[in-house]
A and B are shown apart, each in its own frame.
Chain A
Amino acid sequence: MPDSVRLGEALLIALVLWPLVAALAVALLAASNRRGASALSVVGTGATLLLAFALFAFDGTATVRIPALLSVLELRADPAGLLFALVAAMVWFAVSVYSLGYLRDNPAADRLRVTSLVVLSGNLGVFVAGDWLSLLVFFEAFGLTGLLFVVHSGDAAARRAGVKYFWMTLLGGVALLAGIALLQQAAGTLALAPVPDGEAARWALLLMLVGFGVKAGMFGLHIWLPDAHSAAPAPASALLSGVMIKAGAYGIFRCFENFSADAGFGVALLCLGLAGMLVGAVAALAQRHAKRLLAWSSISQMGFILAAFGAAALAGPDGVSGRAAGLLHAFNHALFKSALFLAVGALVHAAGSANLDRLGGMHRRAPLLFVLLLVAAAGIVGLPPLNGFASKTMIHHALADLATRNEAFAVVEWGYYAASVGTAAMFVRLVQRLCAQPPADAPATSRMPVSMSLAVGMLAGLIVVAGLMPGLLTESLVLPALGVSAAAHDLDLLHHSLADRISPFVILLIGLAVARLADRFGLADRRPPAWLGVDGAFCGIGRAVLRACDRAARTAGQLRRGGLRRGVDTVALLRRGLATNWTDSARIAALGAGMRLPHDRVYRHLDQQRDRIIRHALVLAGRHGASVPGSRRAQIERLLDATRHYAGWLGTRLISGAVALDIEDALRLAHSDECCRHLAEQALAMAVTDVESGHEERAMALADDALAAVLGTGAEPSFGVVPARRGLHEMQSVLFHLIVDPMRRHWPVSESLARGAFASQMRGSLHRLARDPGAGLAFACVLLLVLTVLLIRA
């Protein structure tokens, strides 16, 4: 009937839009009327609950297409989505009732309420999304909005938790985006329909599992969970742990519903679920912080759910029991985990500290809450006749079926037992602490607000009811979600043998013993090495990426400022290597790699020493020229020229010899007046000989001796002759010097460069060119020119 169809569509739109409208109303009202705002938020969530029930009661599948975003935002109410939507609405309503009391004195309460309503809208949107793109939109939106939950308290721990949450959510979102795009490629459509198998489909499934797994607290991607759930305020933690991580489980359920996954994925999911179960249980046992204990317990329980899904995937078409188990446990876990968080939150609030050792005596101070907490704990441990029993037994059956099918999976069942024992142990420990002696400086008992007890009571009541009537849940929610009829499978799913009924109690007893042992061993005080954790790996990768970016930015900055200089240090290095005949590889390596090493300083000092030698030699030459009678101006010029030439050359050789020494010796030489004087006199002598009679070998030998005396080492054979002072050679040197860093003129080059006005002009313009803007553009132009040429050739 068209009317009912339209009613269904209206209900769907209202389900997602109404919380947004309520959020807006609360935000507007909060400024003036705080009590009205809090009441309005309760009304908002209550109305959402009614809408969810109405949709549930509405027969048929309503579909709505809203023209928004890319093309169409599709909403669809099918049983699987409604199962999750229903439990989400229930938990949210209970939490908003709880907040009436809990957030009474909190100054930022309204921000929390508004955020909570917006996140509710997003979360419901995920559950009723009709195609993958709509699911992605709601998933990302509510994921990042949930960040506000985590950082609500504003202290340093909350901010750190927020950072981890943000990055994991973002990376998961990127993976999910890629996965869904690949799915569109593989299936040709974005509808929630079976996807044909293929390469793209496999990649898509992998990426989507990663994306949903981050949200679901799958082992390996769970690092954000313990910090985030313990840093958020109690009502927000209940929502985070209770419902928001179920969005991830829902996504994984949809994936396996529509992909024909091969065995590898099933095994991977099973193993990850198993690891999550066990690691979560062990970590929770080692916690001192009550909320972190509950957060690790969430990881453990999600491991149960994921293991059930994995077993179902491996079982293929017979996997109904596994999927049903996962769905039912998701439903139940939402109820008891949120009840636990709310109850523990209230007790922590009353005791003033979340440390387990300070929570003693709560059973007397808040007896009602304590009893309700006991109910929830019993539920999570899986004691009959509460709801946890049915779902855990179903999971057990699914895993046992898998073991009977394939011998290799027998270990899975043992893993289940171990994890159940761990769960029992952690809650035994929690209850023990709550019943212990109250600490000496416990704050005064204040009355627990009624609303808080009422909220927890509602959830506990649901736990009991669901436990007493497991068939109701299975028949009306779970089986329709799987699209199978009740008659065929009902009996199988809920058939509990005597062993099934007894095992929870046995597990509880063993758990008691394990808890005692854990306390005896001081498990809470032991910390595993940091590198062992997945946490460390992720943080390490993050830090490495940031360091790489920082280095890239610094290099770019240096390139911009240094221009051409940087690029040709290698040329200078090569030259240096040639000069020392590559024998001193260590020094060359040091020179190459560490231009910023002490050698730099040594060079600068030696450079200054060479300048001093040249100046001193020129002074001596001037005096000499003046003293020789009858010398013409041209002769004096020539003498000065020659002196500068030889002094420079000697200085250069001094440098090349000195760097082979120790740093202290080299510095000593660099500051030694005597060395300066000696070499200057030697230079003058060589110049005088040159001017008068031309270049002589003997003069060279003398120079070698002088240098050897100064350096205190054996005479270094002079590499080639002193470069002659010819125009062509000067041009060669000038051209070479254009490439070498002017600052590094102590590299062994001809000293004749120093006097070339042409050379200094070129050096100056090279400086200017090497700064902005020439270097980048010139490089770019050259590169592009080369590319053009290649292009035309190609």
Chain B
Amino acid sequence: MLVPITVLLPVTAAVWIAAFGPGRRAAAVVSIAVTVATCMGCAVLAAVATFAPPSSIELTELVPPIGLVLRVDALGALFGLTVSLLYVPATLHAVGWLGNGPRRCAFLAVFLFCLGAMLLVAYAANLVTLLVGYELFSLVSVLLIIHRRTRRAFRAGFKYLVYVIPGGALALVGTVIVFFVADSVVFTPGGLTAMGQDDATLRLAWACLMFGFGVKAALFPLHGWVPDAHPAAPPPFSAILSGVMVATGVFAIVRVLYEIFGPVRLEALAVMPWLAVPAAIGVVVAGLLAVGEDELKRRLAYSTISQVGYATLAISLLEPGALTGALVHLANHAFIKGGLFFAVGAVAVHAGVHRVSELRGMGRRMPVTATLMTLLALALIGLPPLSGFIGKWLLVSGALQAGSGSALVVLLIGSVLAALYLWPVMRETWTPPPKPAPERCERRDGMLLAALLTGALVVLFGLGAALTGFPLALAGRAARLLAGGD
């Protein structure tokens, strides 16, 4: 019963905000309360998933025998927890950023609706439910991208639609093919059993689904919308974009690979290199482009493409250790990248700085924000004992377990590139500015609070990663379940 409530609560709140248009404080309080409640609900579900076997709840029936079915299992719980936990500081940030601006109720309403849709994706028990949630939030989030109504925002939104709509169509085509081949679209660990013998059809379905979800997952060469969408979108939504929306694509890919096709069948089809190679290229190329990019948000956007590419590369190795690493990395990356966007958003609003070359002396002007940015950048580089190190280590050892030396090399190159594009940010922040020294412009508002909260989470997830209920444990259990064990 808790699952539908968790999914529908943000949607209801969104509808209420959109319909009644409450005042600034009321809207802020309601949204924060709703996100915190959703987060707690997801935490409870995560606890359930850790200790109990998966259980399904049917919502409605669309077309017999396909229905909207929800399910709580380790992978879904991990993803749902990540999304809802990141939404708490994101809502704080949004409230701080929106202030008294125009269309704030519309923004909050759509923002919360996206949360609900993403949770629908997380707790989906079959491919159709996942697709419904996926399409819903893909199409609705374009409203958030164009929120600022600038020309750049419109262009970015248009480009995003151009990528996402065909992607969604391809994903639907893939789903239909799967249904016709296998007579079922339910997520079964180890893959659907009755997939038939026709390799060509299976490959076609695989390709359609990978392209369809790969658009969202920023898989090279379908990543073109990412660098444009991030600077154009409002800062709270950029954080969600980078942190969880891109991860949703990878999440869908994991579900499809492991619970529709299954590792055994995938190895028989020999299609995984077609996923691994674009992912590897994406890691390196996006990293290189990030180094040359001056605008802060675009640099972080390329960084997202690169980091999520690690996860996709590891997933394509079809190895439980690598899968655990990929899932943990995605979960940790959500908070690190989200925090970075919060900090960068605060810097852009209060200090008017959008480029790395203008960052000089930020350490004096906004000390707390600058410290958080440095901390999060170090976490992204993979400094122990922060959370980025966990993902990095598991990915590296997973790649070695899978016996793939080239994946290891790509991961290491990506790691060095991450340092290469984050070092100038850190260096410029702490270089003393030329005289006369500009004054401090830090404000204690929702944005700072959001960044602090995320920073604390990053440190916590790093130090305490081994404790139960934290992402690592959930990811481990998820990997074991997906690989067909326990």
Contact = CB atoms under 8 A, between A and B. Distances in A.
Interface string A602-622: 000000000000000000000
Contacts of A780: 221-222, 224
Given A137-B384, A772-B155, A787-B274, A69 B292 contact: no
11 contacts: A70-B466, A137-B384, A151-B430, A163-B427, A167-B419, A184-B400, A549-B420, A776-B221, A777-B162, A780-B221, A791-B274
A140 interface: yes
B4 interface: no
Nearest to B390: A70
B78 to A, nearest CB: 17
B15 interface: no
Given A166-B423, A777-B163, A553 B291 contact: yes
Contacts of A133: 393
A545 interface: yes
Interface stretch (A171-179, A443-451, A735-743): A171-179
B383 A792 contact: no
A181 B396 contact: yes
Interface stretch (B80-88, B199-207, B343-351): B199-207
Given A163-B427, A177-B393, A794-B270, 17 more contacts: A67-B466, A69-B390, A70-B466, A140-B389, A171-B416, A181-B396, A549-B288, A549-B291, A552-B288, A553-B292, A776-B224, A784-B207, A787-B207, A787-B274, A788-B211, A791-B271, A792-B203
A794 B270 CA distance: 10
A159 B431 contact: yes
A118 to B, nearest CB: 12
B401 A185 contact: yes
Interface in A129-186: 133, 136-138, 140-141, 144, 151, 154, 159, 163, 166-167, 170-171, 174, 177-178, 181-182, 184-185
Interface string B342-370: 00000000000000000000000000000
Contact of A784 (B211, B383, B393): B211
A485 B431 CA distance: 54
A68 interface: yes
Contacts of B463: 68-69
Interface in A535-550: 545-546, 548-550
Contact of B159 (A71, A138, A549, A772): A772
Contact of B289 (A69, A556, A777): A556
Given A68-B385, A181-B397, A776-B224, A546 B378 contact: no
Interface string A67-105: 111111000000000000000000000000000000000
A771 B289 CA distance: 20
Contacts of A140: 383-384, 389
Interface in B280-303: 285, 288-289, 291-293
Given A170-B419, A178-B412, A71 B401 contact: no
Contact of B408 (A166, A178, A548, A553): A178
A171 B463 CA distance: 23
B39 to A, nearest CB: 24
A777 B211 CA distance: 12
A777 B203 CA distance: 22
Interface in B405-433: 408, 412, 415-416, 419-420, 423, 427, 430-432
A352 interface: no
A166 B383 CA distance: 12
Contact of A70 (B224, B289, B393): B393
Contacts of A184: 397, 400
B472 interface: yes
A517 interface: no
B132 interface: no
Interface string A178-216: 100110110000000000000000000000000000000
B22 interface: no
A773 interface: yes
Contacts of B163: 773, 777
A184 B203 CA distance: 36
Max chain B Cβ within 10 angstroms of own Cβ: one of A70, A171, A182, A545: A70
Nearest to A156: B431
Given A141-B385, A154-B432, A773-B158, A553 B288 contact: yes
A163 B396 CA distance: 26
A166 B419 CA distance: 10
Given A137-B389, A178-B396, A792-B200, A781 B166 contact: yes
Interface in B145-160: 155, 158-159
Interface residues of A, number: 52
Contacts of A784: 207, 211, 221-222
Contacts of A551: 292
A311 B75 CA distance: 53
A576 B381 CA distance: 49
Contacts of B285: 552
A137 B385 contact: yes
B385 A553 contact: no
Contacts of B390: 69-70
A545 B420 contact: yes
Contacts of B393: 70, 133, 177, 181
B288 A68 contact: no
B143 interface: no
B63 interface: no
A156 B389 CA distance: 31
A177 B224 contact: no
A781 B207 CA distance: 12
B37 to A, nearest CB: 30
A144 B374 CA distance: 12
B467 interface: yes
A549 B292 contact: yes
Interface in A768-794: 772-773, 776-777, 779-781, 783-784, 787-788, 791-792, 794
Contacts of A178: 396, 408, 412
Contacts of A163: 427
A177 B394 CA distance: 11
A552 B306 CA distance: 15
Contacts of A788: 204, 207, 211
A170 B285 CA distance: 21
A546 B291 contact: yes
Contacts of A545: 420
B397 A144 contact: no
B462 interface: yes
B266 interface: no
Contacts of A151: 430
A558 to B, nearest CB: 12
Contact of B384 (A141, A174, A552, A781): A141
A140 B383 CA distance: 7
Given A177-B393, A783-B221, A553 B293 contact: yes
A548 to B, nearest CB: 7
B464 interface: yes
B396 A177 contact: yes
A554 interface: yes
Interface in A742-787: 772-773, 776-777, 779-781, 783-784, 787
Interface in A328-378: none
A141 to B, nearest CB: 5
Nearest to B162: A773
B181 interface: no
A552 B466 contact: no
A773 B159 contact: yes
B104 interface: no
Contact of B292 (A68, A552, A779, A794): A552
A182 B412 CA distance: 13
Interface string A548-592: 111111101000000000000000000000000000000000000
Contacts of A71: 466
A185 B293 CA distance: 37
Interface in A41-76: 67-72
B292 A550 contact: yes
Nearest to A773: B159
